[in-house]
Amino acid sequence: MTVGIGIVGCGMIAGFHSKAIADAKGAKLVGCVDRLHDFATSFAEKNNCKAYETIEEMLADPEIDAVSICTPSGAHLDPAVEAAKAGKHVFVEKPLEITTERCDKIISACEESDVRLAVTFQSRFHESSKLVKKAMDAGRFGTITMGDAYVKWFRTQEYYDSGAWRGTWALDGGGALMNQAIHSVDLLLWLMGDVSEISAMTSTLTHERIEVEDIAVATLRFANGALGVIEATTTAYPGSLKRIEISGSHGTAIIEEEDILTWKFAQEDASDEEIRSSMIGKTSSGGGAADPSAIGHHGHTMLFDEFVAAINEHRAPLIDGHEGRRSVAVIEAIYESAKGGQIIEMNK
């Protein structure tokens, strides 16, 4: 069936969701709502959909089968739970929420109402990511020894000043980690598996009037014994594409956004040379490194395709609430370690 979708929150990211819904198979944008009704009216005119006065009005519309939550990060909980209780499927822009406690409330509400819940971590759908995951699952890296994520981005002071919620613990939930680097944290966990220990430092070095970090470094011990590093900042002018590096006793792969920069294995495969030649120049945008709007919507389109398929097939989406919660848990632990100056043990 065609899934009718309503967008909650009509800020910048909502525009990417509307484009992705238009391109996704079996999805239709029905309407939108925002706490500032003028925003919703303007968005509806641009996207040829309804503008609802309230979320209650949206959820009462039988044309709405699912909602896409595009509010500030710390304002995902209430609309997601309301939608679930109304029997609507829920698609949430990253992060799922800003604490694991709030994530759990969304997950529980969706499970109790038997509705699908999906979180937008589109980096998992990039061909580069899938190739590395396939090679890891096939054991081509040998003993995995290191897994690292580097997000060295740049945000101006004007970026933080542009919205009262930006850079606050209550609505942003954190800084360079929770807002910008969470895609890379999720991708690293998807590739490397769970983290067992974390030690971290954070600081605010170049931005004013924000409560959260603009730079963070964490060292990790994964459950598989490998070590790793997460570096995240919004202070690195002019901003670089995010990188994931996976190293093992028999191979190394380095991803930069959608490109594969390094693909080397002790035992060469027939497809390796083709991967090295074809997976360069795949990144077609700035990746959000300096401009948060400089991203494509193709990743979101793949996520909506998968979300619609999950609804129609009565199964959990590939990136469901439990998957979406994992990166929030790791970032929470990083903040706890940085605040207290101790090693945090996970899953205990």
For the domain that residue 25 is a member of, what is the CATH number?
A: 3.40.50.720
Instruction: State how many domains the chain has.
Output: 2
With respect to residue 295, please indicate whether it lies within any of the assigned structural domains.
no
Reported as a single tens digit per residue, the pLDDT across 28-75 is 999 999 999 999 999 999 999 999 999 999 999 999 999 999 999 999
Q: Name the domain boundary from 67, 96, 115.
A: 115
CATH number at residue 251: 3.30.360.10
Same domain, 106 and 176: no
Q: How confident is the model at residue 293 (pLDDT cuts 50, 70, 90)?
A: low
Q: Name the domain boundary from 115, 144, 167.
A: 115
Same domain, 55 and 132: no
- The pTM for the full model equals 0.96
Reported as a single tens digit per residue, the pLDDT across 238-274 is 999 999 999 999 999 999 999 999 999 999 999 999 9
State what percent of residues in the chain have pLDDT above 70.
Answer: 99
**Per-residue 3-state assignment (H helix, E strand, C coil) for the chain:** CCEEEEEECCCHHHHHHHHHHHHCCCEEEEEEECCCHHHHHHHHHHHCCEECCCHHHHHCCCCCCEEEECCCHHHCHHHHHHHHHCCCEEEECCCCCCCHHHHHHHHHHHHHHCCCEEECCHHHHCHHHHHHHHHHHCCCCCCEEEEEEEEECECCHHHHHCCCCCCCCCCCCCCHHHHHHHHHHHHHHHHHCCEEEEEEEEECCCCCCCCCCCEEEEEEEECCCCEEEEEEECECCCCCCCEEEEEECCEEEEEECCEEEEEEECCCCCCHHHHHHHCCCCCCCCCCCCCCCCCCCHHHHHHHHHHHHHHHHCCCCCCCHHHHHHHHHHHHHHHHHHHHCCCEECCC
Q: Which domain holds residue 224?
A: 123-290+328-345
Same domain, 99 and 220: no
With respect to residue 316, please indicate whether it lies within any of the assigned structural domains.
no
With respect to residue 304, please indicate whether it lies within any of the assigned structural domains.
no
